[in-house]
Amino acid sequence: MPACLHIIKNAQPECTGITRLVTSLARHSEPLGYNVKVLFLGDGPLLETVRHAGIRASAVSWTASRRDLAGAWRVWRWLRKHPAQIVHVHHGGTAVRIICRMAGTRAFVQHVHSRILEPEGGSISQLSFRGADAVVACSQAVADCVRGSHPEVIYSGVETGSEPPSPPDCAGPLTVGILTRLIPLKNVEAVIKAAACLARRDIGIHVEIAGTGPSEPALHELAKSLAVTDRVHFLGWQTDIPSLMKNWDLLAIPSLEEGVPISALEAMAAARPVVASRIGGLGELVVDGVTGMLLAPNDTEALVACLANLAGDRRKLILMGREGWTRAREDFSAELMARRTTELYDRLLNPTM
């Protein structure tokens, strides 16, 4: 059975979304003939999360830079001890490709998850993927930004049951969930401002923010300054996503840029509608007015109007959630993601197929 290694930036909470994707991909790739393991280029709590899921995982410290020769040596030595025919990389560029080739990797897959480079903010169109045998883009919007390569679009996948989950009880205030890293790009402040506007109109709303990041102190201060600390709750880093979704009426993604956030698919799998910015790959996931609502990015007035409408029409929430679950099950399942990915692996290892 060929070995496939997934490389992730580090095992810190900032990589939770990609780690959830890789964990699901690994779980469904093994029955399709691939011995999957994960290497984090830095330690953290996600290492045990992946191991707890029954997937082999390790951490080796490296900045993925040519300047970090000691780190490159550590990773090369690890790769020699744990050889893999395919390396599927979710972080890093030329330096990672060189080390993997030197260690004997037969096929190298570069996965691109966003149109921008964080934290610098540049475009991925600046990058060269020379040396990669295949480039995978998480959405068509991301693929359109890649230059000098022909990416294959493989959407993220999520687990869905055979029956849709129970809908929200639709009683009391509208509960809006946010599941993201707390950084400026995610524009979480838009939802806090919307909550303040709705409070002034006596529309019941609670906002629950699950995540950590450098913007958290400023977001706390914003909620305090707008007098909505009783309506905006910070939950910190969370790992039990199904329980979160069960308590929410909808998921809000007010980001200024996104590739394909796994949280949107997890909300759909939980039969919860998604209210999101019409940006990046979100328009490829959310069907406006059917599985959620798409709004112009950074348009707080539109967000307020949308949330006010949904607070007063809970039946619409239930119908959109159910449509989202159907779409997730049919078009964005973990099984479909794994099948398309392993078909790519097969082509790379057997080019005459």
Give pLDDT tens digits for 150-166.
Answer: 999 999 999 998 898 99
Radius of gyration (C-alpha) of the chain in whole angstroms = 21
Question: Angle between the 16-29 and 262-269 helix axes, to the nearest 10 degrees?
Answer: 60
Which amino acid is located at 206 in the chain? H
Question: What pLDDT score does 119 carry?
Answer: 62
Give pLDDT tens digits for 72-126.
Answer: 999 999 999 999 999 999 988 889 999 999 999 999 999 999 988 776 667 788 7
Distance CA 275, CA 306 (A): 8
Burial-class residue 165 by CB neighbours within 10 Å (0-12, 13-18, 19+).
middle
User: Which element (helix H / strand E) includes 176?
Assistant: strand 174-179
Q: Which residues in the chain land under pLDDT 50?
A: none
Q: Do domains 3-157+333-349 and 174-331 have the same CATH topology?
A: yes
Fold that domain 174-331 belongs to in CATH: Rossmann fold (3.40.50)
List the domain boundaries for the chain. Answer: 3-157+333-349, 174-331
Distance CA 107, CA 87 (A): 6
| CATH superfamily for domain 3-157+333-349 | Glycogen Phosphorylase B; (3.40.50.2000)
Question: Angle between the 314-331 and 300-311 helix axes, to the nearest 10 degrees?
Answer: 110
